[in-house]
Structure 1
């Protein structure tokens, strides 16, 4: 069967199919289970400087085409999170810590306070005031924060980008100038759902971020544009639930993919292995290597 091993954003993996930040990753046990179920790497839930409870409920609602969530970045703070990373490492794959902050110094504090195999800078959460996309929608902030974290750690640094901007490639180029080892695209799209009986927004925060199959086409286009503009690797995320989705994202230019909302499917954690096996069988059938599949859509268009 075709090999899926290689480097994704300067991190060696046996499979390019990873656990995305947000859905799981709040406990070391969930990270370890994802790793043992076939994920090539696992990304933690985002952690910051201070403990946060997040938004009041409801925080998640199922909508047509995916999930709408407004968790509000609940986390125990990085000071209480190292043990979870260490437990996750028992799964035998790289553990990437997703981190957030309101300022450059907060990002630096969290990064230097954790021992992980890499960092994913959450500059894209659409529903947490003062964090995420509120910081990451400006290219100057992306560049400054990326450079600061990169200078303070000795492991790869990825930047997760928001799609809620006019031009995502400007943010990708800013991350590249800051020294990022890769960018991750995309985070959720701003969205809202209203209960027609009560006439009230369903989410406690009123609006949140849409994930799942409904955003896949947006993610594919974002990856395609970023891969054409950047010299650093692109990791694709958004709406991936089958090997065909992963192949499409890789053809757009992604060197790796992340899976999140699809873990709610009946196969659960088994989705990592099923996507990886499907990709390997596809590559064998096409007589291609994984490297040859990356960006194929641009070469054949």
Structure 2
């Protein structure tokens, strides 16, 4: 399933059969369960094509001990630890409060075993949620804590198991903390994923030199923000080389804070773009990004954002057709 234009709105696209009014996706963990930003004056979910809800597990989790967030140069470390009320409470108490007529809502499924992934996916399948994102960066407790997403075989097993219990679009969130992201993507496509989110955070740490102790209570955390943008861009480009052959779209994410950032990801092969860390210091950044993308499309003769996807001109390759010719 690919991303295509759906109407006269140049920002609108079809993503796995779902209409997105904008290519922007609000990322998991940055907007709670979709209600947090409704309290910000001037913010509207209509500025985003979709909202990914906070990572959800089978049972409620309290998360990691503090400190759980630490600002770094051009980025942020977080080790929240998947704090959430449990999948059943999300489905029964939180989803009914969301306005599904305003934007698309995507569940984020996490787990410590394949069985837990299946349980949570099955609960969301029997709900009004629009799509399901599988967070395969979680540690597999049965394999000594190694992350599912760091090994293609384990990633594919999670996707295949979840695919069997849902007909909703499955989006696999790929980790950059692995040896061969292209092989992982290929295996996940064979297992039945409909789309990818590229990338998850990059693992890092911070140290308090005076105390000679880790700043993060969990010692390590996920690094997000502009510092990881070059890594994320490369991974989107690499996954696109595999995904485009199968019509599998990508949500590109990692350090997007401006329209130019978003455009670079789209040109690299992302059908949609995820915004997360930027929301913490500019809750209205989505509107600015949308305006910038719309202006770029007009200046370069593209009739829709879908026409811009994957138009990167590599050295030695034939020049891509101009946007106006594609329209």
Would the TM-score normalized by the shorter structure come out above 0.5? yes
Q: How many pairs are equivalent?
A: 296
**Within-5 A mapping of 1:255-266:** 255-265=271-281
**Which of the residues 52, 66, 76 maps onto 2:61?**
52
In structure 2, the partner of 1:108 is 118
In structure 2, the partner of 1:141 is 154
In structure 2, the partner of 1:233 is 249
Counterpart of 2:229 in 1: which secondary structure?
A: helix
**Which of the residues 47, 63, 77 maps onto 2:72?**
63
The question of 1:285 aligning with 2:299 is answered yes
Structure 1 stretches lacking a partner, 5+ long: none
Distance of 2:285 and 2:30 partners within structure 1: 14
How big is the shift at 1:133?
Answer: 6.8
Distance of 1:271 and 1:89 partners within structure 2: 21
How big is the shift at 1:90?
Answer: 4.5
Which has the higher Rg, Structure 1 or Structure 2?
2
Shift in alpha-carbon separation, 1:133–1:42, aligned structure 2, 3 A = farther
Counterpart of 2:239 in 1: which secondary structure?
A: helix
In structure 1, the partner of 2:268 is 252
In structure 2, the partner of 1:272 is 286
Q: Is the 8 A contact 2:150 2:179 kept in 1?
A: no
Q: Is the 8 A contact 1:123 1:133 kept in 2?
A: no
Distance of 2:87 and 2:104 partners within structure 1: 18
**Within-5 A mapping of 1:34-53:** 36=45, 38-53=47-62
Distance of 2:286 and 2:17 partners within structure 1: 21
In structure 2, the partner of 1:190 is 203
How big is the shift at 1:238?
Answer: 0.5
**RMSD in angstroms over aligned alpha carbons?**
2.1
Query: Residue deviations 1:41-77, cap 9 Å, x none?
Result: 1000100111111110000000111101111111111
Structure 2 stretches lacking a partner, 5+ long: 1-7, 321-327
The question of 1:223 aligning with 2:240 is answered no
**Which of the residues 100, 104, 125 maps onto 1:94?**
104
Distance of 2:100 and 2:44 partners within structure 1: 9
Shift in alpha-carbon separation, 1:75–1:206, aligned structure 2, 3 A = same
In structure 2, the partner of 1:17 is 24
Distance of 1:59 and 1:47 partners within structure 2: 18
- Runs of 4+ deviating beyond 4 Å: 31-35, 298-301
How big is the shift at 1:88?
Answer: 2.7
TM-score when normalising by structure 1: 0.92
In structure 2, the partner of 1:4 is 11
The question of 1:30 aligning with 2:36 is answered yes
